[in-house]
Amino acid sequence: MHILTGRELVGCLLIAAAVAFSTSCQTAGEQTLLACGEKNEFERLKIKTHSNHAPKEVQDKYGNADKVHTCPGDAVRWELKDYKFVITFKRDSPFEWKRQEAIDIGKDRWGVIGIVTNVSPKEVDHEYSVEVVGYPPVLDPIIIVDK
């Protein structure tokens, strides 16, 4: 039996809250299926690094995630094994935060989670960077909030 640490418990609670309050939007490769509706959606993004641990790319379940489509209420979680990181939006953020440091989510993994709450009247590309602690921020993937 494993007893959860405080950080693991916080990570579990954040994930449970995100799933409970999310709606739905699906992506299939490069084609976006605009399906904002009643289903819950939880987008899990993995940060891949070079051998020196500098960020290389962000991937979703379909591969490279240069552009991720979400819907209002959806939850997005970034993960990286072994290294702490920071997500920073260049301008407007679709989340309640503009810059967020990863927390320990257990099993040598770090994570950042956000629920899409800030929705503009028109489609906006929310450009962000990923900084692995100790390396300059790189990458410019985009979160797009569909209606």
For the chain, the domains span 6-145
Measured CA to CA, the distance from residue 23 to residue 12 in angstroms comes to: 19
Q: How confident is the model at residue 79 (pLDDT cuts 50, 70, 90)?
A: very high
Q: Is the model more confident about 107 or about 10?
A: 107
Structure tokens at 80: 């990286």
Q: Are strands 99-101 and 63-64 parallel, antiparallel or unpaired?
A: unpaired
Model pLDDT for residues 20-54, shown as the tens digit of each residue: 333 333 333 333 344 576 665 888 899 988 888 88
CATH number of 6-145: 2.60.40
